[in-house]
A = this chain, B = another copy of it.
Amino acid sequence: MHRDNYKAKLDASQYKLTGQRATVLEVMIRNRGKHLSAEEVLQQARLLRPNIGIATVYRTLEKLASLEILYKGMFDSGKYRYELADDREHHHHHVVCVNCGSITEIKDDLLCELEKNIEKQGFRIVDHDLKFFGYCPNCTKS
């Protein structure tokens, strides 16, 4: 998805497209595919806008996640990470390397059948979150 579409999405929301928000969004776009913590977003945002505050970063990430522009997830220990979420894809699958900590996105989706099974038991499923833990190709070699 293009930069402008994200901005348009934010613009069309109940929130104002302020400079700070555009900056946070810009950081996320430039790091497409990565999973950044709030602190990491702050550091990169300060390169573009030196006196943006941590509270604004948190507030903006939260808003962007509520607009589903970002996906907010907990991967390793104790802090949230954010990534660009293309609206079509609600499902996030990741492989977390237990050796180097790298997080790789995977696309394959065989879960529909499993979801259907669960729905037979009376649930209505709206989303899922799947993480694999193992060794990434790099760490498998050594």
* A114 part of interface (Cβ distance < 8 Å): yes
Contact A133 B129, beta carbon cutoff 8 Å: yes
Please name 14 pairs of A and B residues whose Cβ atoms are closer than 8 Å in the assembled complex, sorted by A.
Answer: A108-B114, A110-B113, A110-B114, A118-B134, A122-B137, A123-B132, A123-B134, A124-B134, A125-B132, A126-B135, A128-B131, A129-B130, A129-B131, A130-B130
* A98 part of interface (Cβ distance < 8 Å): yes
* A26 part of interface (Cβ distance < 8 Å): no
Q: Which residues of A come within 8 Å of B, CB atoms?
A: 74, 95, 97-98, 104, 106, 108, 110-111, 113-115, 117-118, 121-137, 140
Docked pose: A121 CA to B121 CA in angstroms: 34
Contact A124 B129, beta carbon cutoff 8 Å: no
Contact B130 A128, beta carbon cutoff 8 Å: yes
Docked pose: A122 CA to B135 CA in angstroms: 9
Contact B117 A137, beta carbon cutoff 8 Å: no
Chain B residues lying within 8 Å of A108, measured Cβ to Cβ, are 114, 117-118
